[in-house]
Structure formats: C-alpha cells, structure tokens
Amino acid sequence: MIRFEHVTKTYQRKSVPALADLSLEFERGEFAFLVGASGSGKSTMLRLILKETNPTSGSIFVAGKDLSRLSSWKVPRLRREIGMVFQDFRLLPTKTAFENVEFALQVIGTPRSAVKKLVPEVLDMVGLEGKGQRLPHELSGGEQQRVAIARAYVNRPTILLADEPTGNLDPETAKGIMDILADINERGTTVLMATHDEKAVNRLSKRVVELVDGHVVRDEMRGHYRGAADESVISGAVPDGDAAGERQASAPFPGGSARASDVAYERFDESASEGERMGDLDRAFEETDEREEGEIA
C-alpha cells in the first residue's frame, strides 16, 4: 500500500538529511504509529506520501503508484485517496462543521444528492450528530478534531495520515479521537499516525516505527511508545557499543540524554517552514509549488 525504497530526503539549505536511506512498507489496512523526537522525520514521511515534497533519492509507492512517475496533473487524484488530519485541525473558520465536510466533497465534484447523504452520515460516525450547524469556534477542541476527521474520511480514502492528531487535546478527549481512528482502520483504511502521545500508542498496541535522525531504529508489530533501549536509558543503564551510545544520545524523550538544544533548533527550523506545509483543504488539492523550497520536482 505504501512503500519507501531507499528514500533519502535532504531539504534545501540543510546538510543533514531529514530521512536517510529509509526502506519501509505499510500493508493495506494496517495501523502504524510513527514515533520519535521532534525533527526525527515523521512529518517528512507523511509529506512525501502526499507528494507535497519529493525525495532527494529513492522511490515511494502509494496505492500501486510510483510517485516519481506520477505526472503533476495526477497528484490531486492521488490526494483524494489520502485523508489528512493535523494537530491544529485546520478547519475553515467561517464555515460550519457541515460545510467544512461538505466542502471536501464539493471540490472533488461529488453530486449534491450524495453530499446530502454522506455529510450527515460521517458527522454521526464521528459523534457530532446535531452539531453540524456550529462554527469551529463554537466547538471544543475534541469536537473540532472530529470535524477534521469527518472531512478527511468522508470520501472513504484508502489511506488516512494523521500528524499528531491528539497533540492539542487532553487525555480523555484524545482517547475519543483514537477510538474514531481505530474505527476508521477497522473499516479498512490504512492509518499512519505521527505522534508523541504515549498513552495512545500503548493503549492501541499497533505497529510502532521509531525514527531517530531520519533512520528507523525500531519497527515492532505490537509495539509500545518506548523501546527497550529507552527503558534502559530511564533506569540509568548505559547500553554497550557505539550504536547504542549514539542512539542513547539521540533519545527523544525524558531520560536525561535528549539533546534539548538540538530539539529547540529543530522546532525553530520547523516554524520557519510552517508556511510551506499543507493548509486548508482547498490548498490540499492544489499542486505543491516545489519552487518555494527550491527543489527540482
């Protein structure tokens, strides 16, 4: 369903690759978490799947298509097969919950009769029955994320990508959101979720892929948020060998060895590039202007 073959991605003006020789496959219908420190490459993986940006080298296959061979006019069609959910919801503020979801169908030319049927159905599915006429600011954070999920799922994408969807939510609200994502996965959609939400990962017990500096350091089928190496860091034990030492030095989470200054720099870089990221749904269907990044498409 999604395959990365020796993918390296180096952004312009960066000496270190965001992803380095990454090879990984996600099967149809799978639910996988991407975990790792800020700047480890999780969002870059999601952007590559959406063809928002291109790899520097290597190949990516999504739903049977080699993205490097996908002509630009076919990119919107690719994105129709992929729903996307963000940490900050990205709803259109002047449109109601119903209209936000409706808009996703309108831009792909769905007939009015189908829109009328599908929007209430999906709003019910995410637990928003009776709240379709509310504007985003009249909804709680959890409810806004439900609208965003409804919008991403309304045309039944084969893949749902979620970038820290519970990052702005309290644990109980986050749990509700995770239940919806699990339900969507049960219905056959492949779900890939980048997250720092330890509880969500541990509760669902799905595949966990951990990235450190653009490398996969762990890939477990029924994984937990922290791997065995992280636990040894927390308990103070120092693993033997260079690789283990290096891994520990890059440990993403509390344990005494996370490189706080590096993380801060990465966050700074990210905020600089925030404008390049995918915005509201209307922009999501537009072609990526790779020239802004100075990349060769």
Percentages helix, strand, coil for the chain, rounded to the nearest 5?
A: 40, 20, 40
Q: Are 63 and 158 in contact (CB under 8 A)?
A: yes
From the CB of 265, what's the least distance to ligand ATP, in Å?
8
Q: How crowded is the C-beta side of 67, counted as CA atoms within 13 Å? A: 28
Side-chain-side CA neighbours of residue 46 (13 Å) = 26
Applying CB under 6 A, the span of 23-31, 35-43, 133-141, 171-179 interacting with ligand ATP comes to 35-43
Any contact of residue 276 with ligand ATP (CB under 6 A)? yes
* 292 in contact with ligand ATP (CB under 6 A): no
Q: Is 6 in the site for ligand ATP (CB under 6 A)?
A: no
CB of 69 to ligand ATP, least distance (A): 23
| Binder among 2, 7, 18, 281 for ligand ATP (CB under 6 A) | 18
Residues 257 and 93: their CA atoms lie apart, in Å, by 41
Smallest distance from ligand ATP to CB 111, Å? 37
270 interacts with ligand ATP by CB under 6 A? yes
| Angular region, 231: left φ>0, alpha ψ -120 to 50, beta rest | alpha
Region from 31-39, 110-118, 123-131, 232-240 binding ligand ATP, contact rule CB under 6 A = 31-39
Q: Rule CB under 6 A: which of 119-178 touch ligand ATP?
A: none
Residues that bind ligand ATP (CB under 6 A): 11, 14, 18, 36, 38-44, 194, 266, 269-270, 273, 276, 293
